Chain A
Amino acid sequence: MKELVEKIRKIFSDEKLELLIGYTKGTLPLRSTPGLIESADEADKLIFDFTCCNNLAKYLVDEKKRSGNTHRIGIIAKGCDARAVVQLVMEGQFERENVVIIGVPCKGVIDPSKLRKKLNGKEIIKFKVNRDKITLFGKNFELELNKNELFSDSCLSCRYPNAVQYDYFIGEPSEPLGVRDEYASVDEFEQKLPEKRWTYFEKEYSRCIRCYACRNACPMCYCEECFVDRSTPQWIGKGNDLSDTIIFHIVRVLHTAGRCVDCGACAAACPLNIDIRMLGKRIEKEVIERFGFTPGLDFETEPAMATFKENDKEEFIM
């Protein structure tokens, strides 16, 4: 952490940053919180470890909206945060020169819903990490786990743990965890009969309370007014109706198609541990196969949904 803090201090003054978006310690064990640093002196608040599950690019768009895109902002970036920044630049959300990407090697982050499931309502007071193992301590209990059991599914199969595009990189690049094949879960899921797939999603989505935390955590959901909040026309009802919930999930996934960087921030934000990833991941695969596009890798390739090829596959056209 010392190296991080010192380097950030230097970058802060070298680059004459007005703001840096990073992670600071959370108020609960195993949680971190996004932190806005306004001067080099504050840099010692910064942390980076396996609790940093937010996608900070979200705060960058928010800040750019607030400040009108003029000043330079630094951002600490895991592989997925950096990809989100690149995609946002490609979408014209802010200028490349107004953001300083500071890559940090990511070794995977905790998915809070997995932690919640393991704890089953119990509270942890502290934890101890010993290489791949983590021990959680609470009142009258102690639980030893493999770290992978807590890591987000996105991390277990992540291809880009290090920022692909960056201005600075602090530390040694990480190897991908490679616990799981990237599309293993969607491929397996696709083998199921349509009715089974439907039942699965129905079960998942029927628990959704439409708190929209998943949308709010997503760097790609920056619409001034989300379609779910619109009243003219009102696309979906406000109540707890399953069809409305399903419309939200279908449209959210379509709006993030070819843009989602699979950071897992949406899943991490969901208070009900709903499987938000499966559908998005399947569409990500479709976009790669059909259009050959992976979001956020470079500043040259046009994003999939903002371009076309004359000979795009059209087997569904009559």
Chain B
Amino acid sequence: MPLIETDAIVLNSLKLGEADKLVTFYSPTLGKIKAVARGARKVKNKYGSSLEPFTHGHLVIYDKKPQVLYRLFQSDIIESFQRVRSDYDKIMTTSHFSLFIEALSPEGDPSVPVFNLFLKLLEYTKVFEASPGLINLFKVKFLGYAGYELLLDRCVKCQSSFPSMRFSPSLGGMVCSPCIPDNALYSVAISPAVQSVLKQTFKMDPGLISRIRPSEEVNKEISHILEVFIFHILGKKFPSLETTSK
């Protein structure tokens, strides 16, 4: 059985059987992985608090191919992010983002930028409270890294650039009105202010996007764009931040 070492962030941790845990991690080298931590719920266990959600740790795992689940052998805390888990609202927003990454990341498809993005959010949340607007920008940034960057400059069908284009979730970008015959294609308008915030977010270093302070109106529009785009990607509705934290 080959042993693998990797850094990872705990996305989710569920009870498994009587005393075990099924932990979902995001690793910069392995992507989203699920590992079984045997005996993790017993008083005396070798994992300690390292499997609490949002913990940044260093793992040693067994690859049990052809089985999909890894077996966790050891995990050491690099940063516990306990302060994120000590505040109700911080728990809610971070859980929401964690579920978002979990839902949109296919298993075993690693991305260093996605890993660093979550780490940046955790570092920010340790000190400040991430507003719903900032969470939206982190989601936008994630989409860019995951290959879903919105193409905002040109019509994705004819490559021309018109001022009054609309966003099509199924095409993943803007379309001009001649390319939307008889409104057969579902599309939403994106205001110039929102377009500029989105472009800025895609370009910016993830450590700096907390500096963008979108207005409430802009944020509402981004929420709606994310909602319809993610519905298209997942084929189902992803619960809003308000429902996660109600």
Do these two chains really belong together in a complex?
A: no
Interface residues of A (CB under 8 A from B): none
